Structure 1
Amino acid sequence: MLRGIYTSASGMIAQMERQDTIANNLANVNTTGFKKDQSVIKQFPELMLYRKDDEKEITNFGETSILTKIGALGTGASLEGVYTEFSQGSLEKTDNNLDFAISGDGLFAVESKGSVKLTRSGDFALSPEGYLITKNGEKVLGSSGSQLGYIKVSNSNFKITKSGILKNAKIEASNISAKNISLDGNSGDSLLLLKVSDNKNLKKIGDNLFDISNVKTITQDNSSKMEQGFIEHSNVSSIKEMVEMIEVSRAYETNQKVLTSQDETLGKVVNEVGKWG
């Protein structure tokens, strides 16, 4: 009886955590370049149940019961983890020369609190000093050969080619440490696109940024294409997320009813079974 209560409770907790992930996806459905998260639910080990004394057999050690298999008993579930889905979002033309979208797997590099962070959000702006920055004020990073630097825009005809080469802008040197980033050193002044060997090691840290502390290999991405005057929408489907939220609500409600039923049964066992007339 108590095992059943714990099983139902674990299912409710797992569904609550899954709902938090879905709610965050829906909250960012209109966030430029946002990549949705998916929850992974893990089932606890099952127990095999047997019934005794249906049949018996005579052995050298006397009479023993033959166990009759009944079936497997589930013991609950938990949230194993949350992973980010990096599928391409749809592109929208804005004709704003400070808006950029990536066609491919690359990510923009920005400086945040003295270190390199990655993002897919390309709705940039200009600082009062003329540097290309994100909406939150982080400086967008470019490269000049094998050196990282900031992008300083010189006039309103600022352009970036599909391969990332800067026009009417230049790279200004920076002191950013990027030990795990490998640059090919072949291109001139360009906006930097990076490729991560294993996306699962990227960690979301808020403000649509990814931390790269746990990523071993980061290389310059020369295969993705830059689209100036476009933005990338999030890859969240609001309809799909709403359907999943309904599924979560129903699963939670089912576990709740099972838990309530078992609690009421347990109450009767404690208060009524064995009671003298």
Structure 2
Amino acid sequence: MNIGTIYATKGFYNEYERFEVISNNLANVSTPGFKRDIYALDKNSNPYTETDMSEGPVQHTGNELDFSIQGEGFFEMLGENGLRYTRQGRFLLNADKEIVNAAGDKLLSDRGDPIVVDGGDLSLAPDGTLMVDGKELETIAVVNFENPKMLSKEGATYYVSEGGAGERLERPEGTIVNQGYLEQSNVIVPQEMVKMMESLRTYETFQKYMNTASEMDTKAVSEVGMLR
């Protein structure tokens, strides 16, 4: 295999992976709290993926257990697999009256405990303090990390701290929590569609080069055989 074919093969697979990342972004355009992934190459042309942590638009829902974070930070969740972090703020109450997400993972307070809501009217202050029937209950944990881009993505909206993100930090200054709102995906469809078309064209170019190189190699081998 000549050097040109080697580079073309690498480019072919890189574009395939890039296309998959873009497709996943588009598939999650309606997923609350989803952050788009960016596929890129380093200075040695090695591929890597990083997550764009910019805020998505906020949609009013009116549901008292829909929360959105305005500013930096993540909700802290506890499930069977341990602590997870998310911007997806759609919650409900389980049979034990704990605030959980659709997977059953528990929303934690700033004391590290599940939040139990036993009462009627639930309201939320901008600092994350929950009140039931006008009485203070708990404060929702909103945490951040020294380098949140280094959090490992798990599924569509979960993040795991595996050390690279640095120290866990308390609620960032200026960050507020809103009730009755959900942060939407930060995917911008027209931009992703343009990137998808660019990727598809580049993919097809590499594919054509590889097919042509293969035909030339076959022809060369055939002609050498005839000369013999």
CA contact (8 A) 1:38 1:83 kept: yes
Larger Rg: 1
Q: Secondary structure at the match of 1:231?
A: strand
Structure 1 length-normalised TM: 0.76
Equivalent residue for 1:98? 65
What is the aligned-residue identity percentage?
30
**Which is further off, 106-115 or 245-254?**
106-115
Q: Which runs of 5+ in 2 are unaligned?
A: none
2:205 to 241, 254, 277: 254
CA contact (8 A) 1:10 1:78 kept: no
Aligned residues: 224
Equivalent residue for 2:215? 264
Equivalent residue for 2:191? 240
Structure 2 length-normalised TM: 0.91
Q: Tell me the CA shift for residue 268 of structure 1.
A: 2.1
Q: Which runs of 5+ in 1 are unaligned?
A: 45-76, 170-187
Structure with more of its chain in strand, by fraction = 1
1:132 to 93, 99, 111: 99
Equivalent residue for 1:28? 28
1:158 to 118, 122, 135: 122
Q: Tell me the CA shift for residue 240 of structure 1.
A: 1.3
Q: Tell me the CA shift for residue 105 of structure 1.
A: 0.7
Q: Secondary structure at the match of 1:149?
A: coil
Equivalent residue for 2:141? 192
2:151 to 202, 214, 221: 202
**Greater RCO, CA 8 A, separation 6+:** 2
Amino acid at match of 2:131: K
Q: Tell me the CA shift for residue 6 of structure 1.
A: 1.1
Structure with more of its chain in helix, by fraction = 2
Distance 2:202 2:34 in 1: 28
CA contact (8 A) 1:11 1:78 kept: no
Let me know the Cα RMSD of the aligned residues.
2.0
Taking a change above 3 Å as real, the CA distance of residues 138 and 207 of structure 1, as seen in their structure-2 partners, is farther
